[in-house]
Structure 1
Amino acid sequence: MKCALKLIDVIGAIDERELKEVNVKGTQFLLEACIQENVKSFIYTSSIEVAGPNTRGDPVINGNEDTVYSCSLKFPYSKTKFQAEQLVLQVNGEVLRSQDKMVTYALRPMYIYGEGCKFHLGLMDDGIRNRGILLRRSKKESVVNPVYVGNVAWAHILAAKAMRDPKKAALIGGRFYFISDDTPHVSYSDFNHVVLKPLGFGIQERLALPLPLLLFLTLLLKMVQVFLKPFVKYTPRMNCQLLIMLNTPFSFTYEKAQRDFGYTPKYSWEDARTITTTWLESVLPQHRALLKTH
């Protein structure tokens, strides 16, 4: 079994050519190496962002792999992840030199949280700078279903085991699966508040500005970025794609993964929340100290 490395970029800080080199060509090279070395199974860690949301912010509530959704991927990270996923799925059934057939499929985790998550740290730092109040970037009603990193890892283990069973391999080969767990459905901002609230953080009651105005401001920032490009690299911390993602109800069930290869979350929501908050508590003092020196 092989899993491709990837670059993650939600703010557009990485050049699209570099994203394509790693996410697409890197995956292609791994697939070619697997074929040459008679590696029979390949699991690709994809992303919820290959599914959307689209530029209109059309919602999906408890969707599944058969949900019809019109999505034109424009953000480089989303595009390269989707292209790599398609490469992996298309190789399913490839005949190896050993005459075995390769089995491939993709897992699409929701927003992954847990110990080591850099997004938690960035939001925590913003809260420290804002005197203990987290900045609200998503509306309360824009519910999503984050997934704990330990459950994502567990899904990979169960998927790998399923590949050893010829009947299951024939069923799941060439398919993608959404991976979520029993984390409560809330907005991105409210979720981050849940794991940081025990450490004394509050959160803004509402968005700082109405969403249409925030979208307009992101367009202005994009224009500034384009204007400055010949002279200096400038990457706004917020863009239209990210703002829409943060403010679109977008959730998917794990029922198909449960049915086809026996996935059920290994970690309960209570355990996942405790582990995440405990980790954040362990790094909080050094982040407070570091921010004081800047």
Structure 2
Amino acid sequence: MPAVGEIYLVTGGHGFLGQEVIKLLIEENRDLSEVRILDKVIQQNFIESLQALAGGRIKLTVFKGDVRNKEILQKACQGLTCVIHTASVIDIWGYISNEELESINVEGTRLLLDACIQQNVKYFIYTSSVEVVGPNARGDPICNGDEDTVYLGKLRFQYSRTKYAAEQLVLSTNGCLLPNGEQIITCALRPMFIYGENCRFMKSHLDEAIINGDVLQRNSKKQALVNPVYVGNVAWAHVLVARAMKDKDKKKIVCGKFYYITDDTPHMSYSDFNHELMGPLGFTIPDKLNMPLLFMYVTAFILEIVQFLLKPFIRYIPKTNRHFITMLNTKFTFTSHKARNDFDYIPRYSWEVVKKQTTAWLASIVQERRDILNKK
């Protein structure tokens, strides 16, 4: 193992995206000497698989905890080259309190930035989300938007608001003076909806379809086009922008900027996307929405009223809400041309390949999911 080399910290390193980022760092960064993994839960078999991949060339260090633990952050940031901050809490249904979302997504990011500055960490990459843009409550569409697209409207999800606040913290920290006299360089990536093997949201849709007699629910109209992005391509974008930050010419371009991350996944509605991947397994989907869109909004509104009335007595969380319906039924697509121009981002994995891989993963778990659901 090299005595001197780059040291990366990946927060949320055991998560869906974090795992892929770490794997690509090990495979593609020849100057890497150590990867530090920060997460609340880290399974030993994951660490063993990384050790096999590293082949003794790279040291792996585990920090169990979350981004609100100042002591862990200080230790994890000592001697660090770069932080890739993927850790966050995702919630668009209301299962997690607003205070908890704010505490982890915003305050946790603030504490991590503070630790980086105190420990002279020069590079900081934040995993943001397309949801920091919208859609807004009116469901105004965007077709092939980019970083210059102006989109007005209040963010309804507390998750979206906290991700946006954290992103702005990261970008505004760019250029801050470090104790060693250098300046910190920050950047944020805004991927579309991330899918791929081990995606828990896809597993949830699979379960719903099994319960519904192998019929997928149509909750989004066909015209509500979106462009999901494969997890491996999002991870690859993180690796590439980290390279650009260390390039004397490119770092001047990417510092303090945000970038949309997409790939060649076809534009289609969320419901049709689920069917595209699960159709080969025998799952079907109706041509029309489960109920008229207006009726879906009315039903959601009534459920929100019930939630409000019951709040003093019990915690009731509706399975849907009006903004979730808007998100599923709004045309919202973007391009990643700027990422290509500024730091040479080209998707590493093609749609043809990832479709086969993701469908194969779904096929590998479908019987297990049937067995589990039948026992309930």
Q: TM-score range by the shorter chain?
A: over 0.9
One-letter amino acid matched to 1:36: Q
Runs of 4+ off more than 6 Å: none
User: Does 2:246 correspond to 1:174?
Assistant: no
What's the % identity of the aligned pairs?
52
Give, in angstroms, the shift of residue 204 of structure 1.
1.5
User: Does 2:317 correspond to 1:255?
Assistant: no
1:38-187 equivalence runs, <5 A: 38-187=120-269
User: Does 2:216 correspond to 1:216?
Assistant: no
Partner of 1:8: 90
User: Does 2:107 correspond to 1:25?
Assistant: yes
One-letter amino acid matched to 2:347: P
One-letter amino acid matched to 1:114: G
Partner of 1:225: 307
Question: How many matched pairs?
Answer: 294
One-letter amino acid matched to 2:128: S
In structure 1, the gaps of 5 or more residues are none
In structure 2, the gaps of 5 or more residues are 1-81
Give, in angstroms, the shift of residue 212 of structure 1.
1.5
User: Does 2:318 correspond to 1:236?
Assistant: yes
- CA offset digits 1:18-54 (Å, max 9, x no partner): 0000000000010000000100010000011001111
Partner of 2:31: none
Give, in angstroms, the shift of residue 180 of structure 1.
0.5
Give, in angstroms, the shift of residue 217 of structure 1.
1.0
Secondary structure in 2 matching 1:140: coil
Give, in angstroms, the shift of residue 81 of structure 1.
0.3
| Structure label with greater radius of gyration | 2
Give, in angstroms, the shift of residue 233 of structure 1.
1.5
Secondary structure in 2 matching 1:280: helix
Partner of 2:26: none
TM normalised by structure 2 equals 0.77
Over aligned residues, Cα RMSD in angstroms?
A: 0.8
Give, in angstroms, the shift of residue 271 of structure 1.
0.8
TM normalised by structure 1 equals 0.98
Give, in angstroms, the shift of residue 10 of structure 1.
1.7
Secondary structure in 2 matching 1:62: strand
One-letter amino acid matched to 2:307: Q
Secondary structure in 2 matching 1:44: strand
Give, in angstroms, the shift of residue 153 of structure 1.
0.3
User: Does 2:272 correspond to 1:190?
Assistant: yes
Secondary structure in 1 matching 2:250: helix
Partner of 2:327: 245
Q: Distance in 2 between matches of 1:76 and 1:54?
A: 13
